[in-house]
Amino acid sequence: MMDIKWRDKPDKHNYPAAVSYLSLIFSDKAAGRIVKELHRTKVVGFKAKDIFRASGLSLLGVSNSHVVENNRKIEAGEKLSPILLVRDSKIG
C-alpha cells in the first residue's frame, strides 16, 4: 500500500470552487462566510471511506479523470491538497 502525502493546507483554487458550490446550497453571503471560516480552520484527518459514507456519495470509478490524476500524483510522491468539508450546523 502506498503512503499518501498531504499538503499542510488546501490549494488556493479550492476556496473559490467551494464558494461556487456552496452558493448553490446557501445564500452567497452565507457561502462567503463559510469559506472564510474554512481559511481559518485547522486541517484534520478522516478516512476516505468515512467521508463518502457521511456524504452519501458513491465512490468515483478508477477511470475518472480526477482519480487517475490523483493516483499519478500519489505514485510520483507528490503531496495532495486536503479536501474542504462543511458540516451543516442544523444537522449536528
Same domain, 9 and 40: yes
Same domain, 26 and 63: no
Same domain, 1 and 29: yes
pLDDT of residue 1: 67
Residue-wise pLDDT for 19-41, tens only, equals 999 999 999 999 999 999 999 99
Same domain, 53 and 68: yes
Is residue 50 situated within a structural domain?
yes
pLDDT of residue 60: 80
Q: Domain range spanning residue 22?
A: 1-45
Is residue 7 situated within a structural domain?
yes
- Between CA 26 and CA 31 the distance in angstroms is 6
Same domain, 20 and 57: no
Same domain, 3 and 13: yes
Q: How many CB atoms lie within 10 A of CB 52?
A: 13
Residue-wise pLDDT for 36-66, tens only, equals 999 999 999 998 888 888 888 777 888 889 8
- Between CA 22 and CA 15 the distance in angstroms is 10
* pTM, entire model: 0.78
